[in-house]
């Protein structure tokens, strides 16, 4: 089925990006790349995801998949699994199940809106608000500056602050909600993952449109899950470059350089599979227990090696590789917090 997906992605012209992800969803579903949205394993998902960057338009499609699986998909799973902090409203569960079925079967896209202009990665800086009205309805006011997969989404999960309760709920807003403003956003890299801005003023939604009571308890793990898939995509992107550059006769020097890139990507991929196994075995496992796990170091080292190869401009030949520098994991507040926590164990090393 992966071959059929590759053939589908090969059928789009090189410059096309806007229709690629949505048009490929049926083939993506047939290849099993959406199974982790429901009851499929993350190891199996990542064992397939690593090949996506070797397909035409692959990195952009991979970004769409990593966001769909680890972000919107995770929230739906929490609601359906009756996790602590998720809505227990039967109507919420019914709605979440309908959305999940559409996503798994490649029939729809769901985007999550967290980031806003000026929020700097901190939920406490969010200006979007949610207020429970006497009628039981929820009034939402929001402006989200960047929603991955949002341009073609049939609905959005919006994170907004409930000021009365001092918490950050997650609320469903259908694409066809009257008055919803959607503005498409295009990046220079991985453009197949179509993004948008969304704005809503004084929206009144039913109470069962609240899916999560407090996103602040989930946010870091959801971010790290997304970055885990990004790390797998990066491994696939490096291996595609090594594969391409190893065609034909090679000097011993270049052969050594390519081997180093292959080994580094393999070490990182092995760690990603190890963490994926932990996620599969224990639903309560949090990636921050093992984070940082080397993605940042290997990303920097691989980019440095690519820049050192004579007569090779990776930015020109493989522009989508720039995505991984754009979303560099070491820039996130989660990374800094966990690195500081981890550093305490450095000092104890060797103290038996």
Cα–Cα distance measured from residue 89 to residue 68, given in angstroms and rounded to the nearest whole number: 23
Nearest alpha-carbon partner for 73 in 43, 48, 40, 122 = 40
The DSSP line for 157-209 is EEEEEETTTTEEEEEEEETT-TT-EEEEE--SSSTTS-EEEEEEEEEEE-GGG
Q: Clarify whether residues 277 and 186 are in a common domain.
A: no
Q: Clarify whether residues 198 and 241 are in a common domain.
A: no
> What confidence score (pLDDT) does residue 352 get?
76
The owner of tokens 């994926």 is 276
Cα–Cα distance measured from residue 61 to residue 24, given in angstroms and rounded to the nearest whole number: 9
Q: Is 153 helix (H, G, I), strand (E, B) or coil?
A: coil
Q: Clarify whether residues 210 and 137 are in a common domain.
A: yes
Nearest alpha-carbon partner for 217 in 158, 147, 151, 169 = 169
Percent of the chain predicted with pLDDT > 90: 75
Q: Clarify whether residues 143 and 62 are in a common domain.
A: no
> What confidence score (pLDDT) does residue 287 get?
95
Of the candidates 105, 123, 141, which is a domain's last residue? 105
Cα–Cα distance measured from residue 329 to residue 269, given in angstroms and rounded to the nearest whole number: 16
Average pLDDT estimate for 289-315: 95
Q: Does the structure show a pLDDT above 80 at 337? A: yes
Q: Clarify whether residues 82 and 48 are in a common domain.
A: yes
Of the candidates 189, 215, 241, which is a domain's last residue? 215
> What confidence score (pLDDT) does residue 165 get?
87
Q: Which domain holds residue 140?
A: 110-215
Cα–Cα distance measured from residue 295 to residue 33, given in angstroms and rounded to the nearest whole number: 22
Bin 153: left if φ > 0, else alpha if -120 < ψ < 50, else beta.
Answer: beta
The residues, any chain, with a CB within 8 Å of residue 46's CB and separated by 6 or more, are 228, 229, 232, 272, 273, 276
Q: Clarify whether residues 95 and 115 are in a common domain.
A: no
pTM, two decimals, is 0.94
Average pLDDT estimate for 204-222: 92
> What confidence score (pLDDT) does residue 188 get?
87
Give the tokens for residue 217.
């308890």
Q: Does the structure show a pLDDT above 90 at 141? A: yes
Q: Clarify whether residues 227 and 333 are in a common domain.
A: yes
Q: Clarify whether residues 167 and 233 are in a common domain.
A: no
Average pLDDT, rounded, for the chain: 92
Average pLDDT estimate for 207-232: 93
> What confidence score (pLDDT) does residue 249 get?
66
> What confidence score (pLDDT) does residue 238 get?
98
Cα–Cα distance measured from residue 85 to residue 100, given in angstroms and rounded to the nearest whole number: 19
Q: Clarify whether residues 275 and 152 are in a common domain.
A: no
Q: What is the per-residue pLDDT across 237-254, written as a single tens digit (0 to 9) for each?
A: 999 999 999 886 666 778
Q: Clarify whether residues 198 and 272 are in a common domain.
A: no
Of the candidates 215, 249, 279, which is a domain's last residue? 215
Q: Is 319 helix (H, G, I), strand (E, B) or coil?
A: helix
Q: Does the structure show a pLDDT above 90 at 160? A: yes
> What confidence score (pLDDT) does residue 39 get?
85
The DSSP line for 299-310 is HHHHHHHHHHST
Task: Give 53 or 345, the one with higher predicted confidence.
Answer: 53
Q: What is the per-residue pLDDT across 244-285, written as a single tens digit (0 to 9) for each?
A: 998 866 667 788 899 999 999 999 999 999 999 999 999 889
The DSSP line for 217-269 is GTHHHHHHHHHHHHHHHHHHHHHHHHHHHTSS---HHHHHHHHHHHHHHHHHH
> What confidence score (pLDDT) does residue 157 get?
96
Q: What is the per-residue pLDDT across 170-194, written as a single tens digit (0 to 9) for each?
A: 999 999 999 999 999 888 888 898 9
Q: Clarify whether residues 268 and 345 are in a common domain.
A: yes
Q: Is 148 helix (H, G, I), strand (E, B) or coil?
A: strand
Give the tokens for residue 299.
């990303």
Q: What is the per-residue pLDDT across 72-106, written as a single tens digit (0 to 9) for each?
A: 999 999 999 856 678 888 999 999 999 999 999 99
Contact yes or no for 189/319 (Cβ under 8 A): yes
Nearest alpha-carbon partner for 275 in 236, 322, 318, 225 = 225
Average pLDDT estimate for 225-234: 97
Per the structure, how many domains does the chain have? 3
């Amino acid at each position: 089925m992966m071959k059929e997906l590759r053939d589908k992605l090969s059928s789009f012209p090189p410059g096309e990006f806007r229709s690629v992800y949505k048009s490929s969803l049926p083939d993506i579903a047939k290849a099993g790349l959406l199974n982790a949205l429901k009851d499929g394993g993350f190891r199996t998902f990542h064992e397939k995801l690593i090949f996506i960057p070797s397909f035409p338009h692959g990195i952009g499609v991979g970004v769409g998949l990593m966001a769909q699986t680890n972000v919107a998909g995770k929230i739906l799973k929490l609601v359906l699994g009756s996790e602590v902090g998720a809505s227990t409203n039967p109507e919420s569960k019914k709605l979440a199940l309908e959305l999940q079925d559409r996503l798994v079967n490649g029939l729809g896209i769901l985007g999550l809106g967290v980031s806003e202009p000026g929020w700097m990665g901190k939920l406490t800086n969010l200006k979007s608000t949610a207020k429970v009205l006497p009628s039981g309805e929820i009034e939402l006011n929001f402006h989200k500056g960047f929603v991955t997969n949002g341009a073609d989404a049939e609905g959005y999960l919006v994170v907004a602050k409930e000021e009365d309760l001092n918490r950050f709920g997650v609320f469903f807003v259908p694409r066809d909600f009257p008055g919803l403003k959607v503005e498409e956003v295009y990046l220079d890299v991985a453009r197949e993952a179509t993004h948008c801005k969304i704005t809503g003023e004084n929206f009144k939604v039913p109470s069962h449109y609240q899916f999560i009571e407090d996103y602040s308890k989930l946010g870091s793990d959801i971010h790290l899950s997304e970055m885990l898939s990004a790390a797998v995509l990066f491994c696939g992107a490096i291996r595609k470059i090594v594969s391409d550059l190893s065609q034909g006769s090679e000097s011993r020097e270049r052969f050594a350089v390519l081997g180093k890139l292959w080994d580094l990507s393999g070490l990182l991929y092995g760690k990603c599979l190890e963490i994926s196994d932990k996620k599969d075995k224990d639903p309560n496992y949090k990636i921050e227990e093992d984070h940082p796990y080397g993605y940042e170091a290997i990303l920097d080292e691989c980019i440095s090696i690519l820049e050192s190869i004579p007569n090779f401009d990776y930015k020109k030949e493989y522009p989508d590789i720039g995505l991984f520098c754009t979303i560099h994991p070491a820039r996130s507040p989660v990374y800094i917090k966990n690195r500081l926590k981890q550093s305490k164990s450095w000092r104890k090393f060797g103290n038996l």
